[in-house]
């Protein structure tokens, strides 16, 4: 293997780790397998990152950045407020299920963080970053339409993202089991969009 400065090795290893783990799962992400994926010696991983946990942290951060990027990229569109939201959400959904390996990987890291203190802070930051991004996007969109949100944008974001995550987790589990949960998921997603828009437009739900 040619000599490559560590500053280049780092992203290479992170990418190799993501490729491998998105394909075969977090459990397949041993330092040996990751090194093999890139074609370097196992010890290179330890030289570059010190500890496996540090690699994992870097991987999660990279995945976060990509996800946030995709949320932002789904932004534009024109038309009425509701239509715009709907378009964005479906774009986000498409990109999520289109890269379901990465999606599954995030879920796996999330589960791992429930027990591993070394990942918890990273996952916490990821969660808030995503929610803040969504809230900001929503606030901007509302402002562009001259709307005043009757519910704090942050609360709507938490509500929406929880639903979105729940739906995508459900999609992944059922798809892994050989079902095609797409039509059903799409309908539930539309319900989620409809209720979210309803919250923004101030249709107060009765009790």
Partner DNA sequence: AGTCGACTTTGTCATGCGACAAAGTTGCGC
Partner DNA sequence: GCGCAACTTTGTCGCATGACAAAGTCGACT
DSSP conformation letters of 2-70: ----HHHHHHHHHHHHHHHHHHH-GGG--HHHHHHHHTS-HHHHHHHHSSHHHHHHHHHHHHHHHHHHH
Q: Which of 1, 114, 177, 205 binds DNA (CB under 7 A)?
A: 1
- Choice from 41, 73, 151, 162 touching DNA (CB under 7 A): 41
* CB-count burial class (<10 Å; 0-12, 13-18, 19+) for 35: buried
Q: How far is the CB of 9 from DNA (least distance, A)?
A: 5
- With binding defined as CB under 7 A, does residue 10 bind DNA? no
What three-state secondary structure class fits 72? helix
According to the binding rule CB under 7 A, does residue 177 interact with DNA?
no
Query: Could you say which of DNA, a second copy, none residue 47 binds, taking C-beta under 5 to 8 angstroms by partner kind?
Result: DNA
* Shortest reach from residue 118's CB to DNA, in Å: 10
What is the closest distance, in whole angstroms, from the C-beta atom of residue 120 to a second copy in the complex?
A: 4
Task: Report the interface residues with DNA, using CB under 7 A.
Answer: 1-7, 9, 29-33, 40-44, 46-48, 50-53
């Amino acid at each position: 293997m040619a000599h490559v400065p560590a500053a280049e090795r780092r992203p290479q290893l992170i990418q190799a780790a993501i490729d491998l783990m998105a394909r075969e799962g977090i459990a397949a992400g041993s330092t040996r397998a990751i090194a093999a994926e890139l074609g370097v010696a196992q010890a290179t991983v330890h030289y570059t990152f010190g500890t496996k946990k540090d690699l994992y942290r870097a991987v999660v951060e990279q995945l976060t950045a990509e996800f946030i990027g995709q949320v932002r990229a789904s932004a534009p569109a024109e038309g009425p407020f509701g239509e715009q939201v709907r378009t964005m959400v479906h774009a986000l959904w498409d990109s999520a299920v289109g890269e379901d390996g990465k999606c599954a990987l995030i879920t796996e890291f999330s589960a791992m963080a429930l027990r591993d203190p070394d990942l918890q802070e990273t996952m916490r930051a990821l969660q808030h970053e995503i929610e803040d991004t969504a809230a900001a996007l929503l606030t901007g969109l509302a402002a562009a339409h001259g709307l005043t949100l009757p519910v704090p944008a942050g609360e709507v974001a938490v509500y929406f993202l929880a639903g979105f995550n729940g739906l995508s987790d459900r999609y992944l589990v059922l798809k892994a089991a050989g079902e095609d949960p797409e039509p059903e998921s799409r309908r539930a997603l539309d319900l989620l969009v409809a209720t979210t828009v309803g919250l923004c437009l101030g249709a107060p739900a009765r009790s």
